[in-house]
Amino acid sequence: MFLLSFLLLKSKSIYWSIDQKLQKLADSILLENSKYYKYSAILVAEVKTGRIIAISCYKGDKLDYNICFNEKFPSASLFKITTAIASIEILGLNSDDPIFYVGKIYSNKPYVWLSNGNTKVQTLKLAFGLSNNPAFGKLATLIGRWRLYEYSRRLFFESYYPIDDFSLALMGAGFINSYITPMNALKLSLSLSNKGLIKSITLIDSIPNIYYYNVKIEGRVMEEKTFYELKELFKETVKNGTASKYLRNYDVGGKTGSLSDKIHGGYIEWFIGFLPVDEPKYAFVSMSVEKKYNNKLSPILNIKPIIEFLSKKNNFICCFP
């Protein structure tokens, strides 16, 4: 960070990675509903290069980049991505495998989830798409405390080690023990889109005679083959799951998350993902902390015009009949 600040001070001309039209669109979307938001963010990056082409970060109606880079928010059901990847790689599950669970899918009672009550079943992809809490709580207990914690840290979450099976189940479902910044959520989405590779990310293309960006491989968050199962889960969110109301016919994959945010005194909602689904070109994050829950202010609705803009610009198939 110090080096970047030094370069910016020394340079008279900076070539940013930002797409000005897309940036203007993102800003206008968040400002339109800013009176309802405590915090909000939209971030978009190119999958291949890691170039950030839009980054809109607001506290109320005030631009504040600290929101995207440094402010930590409850990850909510985004954490189910961790549980899903660990289930695929450790438990050997695939997207169509049956997952057995006990309890209502949006409940928050691990003592019910881990009981011997009436057993129900869903495929892994449908449980993911619908954000099934008891199913993912149960999976977390099968994965184990240390391995789930280890995967979460690898996937850019700031997590806390669960102390017992109940806290492990709640963590696996996204209720406790996990936080993430919008920028790290973008890194997560980019790494998933890149079939598990962690690539460098940038806001600056070049500073003449000083700096020129070159994409670099920095590590790996999951096995390459895991992507092909994971994308089916992401598709299900849009096709039959929690984002289907808004994006059912769009060539997009993603994961939603929502939770009462006691830290910021509001209701946090997330939607992260990529498009097109099979060969991702763009990764995105949309986040908002609403003063009060309002389903007309979903971050899915915030990102929808962005998806349409990118689809039109690149001649992607935007909406299937």
Q: What is the pLDDT of residues 138-166, one digit of tens each?
A: 999 999 999 999 999 999 999 999 999 99
- Mean pLDDT of the residues in the chain: 94
When computed from its CA atoms, the radius of gyration of the chain, rounded to whole angstroms, is 19
Which residues contact residue 54 at a Cβ distance below 8 angstroms, ignoring those fewer than 6 apart?
Answer: 18, 19, 22, 23, 25, 26, 42, 43, 44, 306
* Amino acid 9: pLDDT: 45
Which one is predicted more confidently, 87 or 211? 87
CATH architecture of the domain 19-70+230-314 equals 3-Layer(aba) Sandwich (3.40)
Predicted confidence (pLDDT) per residue in 3-13, tens digit: 444 444 455 68
pLDDT given for residue 195 in this prediction: 98
Pairing of strands 119-123, 98-102: antiparallel
Measured CA to CA, the distance from residue 296 to residue 18 in angstroms comes to: 28
**Structural element, H or E, at residue 15:** strand 15-16
What are 86-136's pLDDT values in tens digits? 999 999 999 999 999 999 999 999 999 999 999 999 999 999 999 999 999
Beta bridge partners, 261, equal: 266
Name the pLDDT band for 2 (thresholds 50, 70, 90): very low
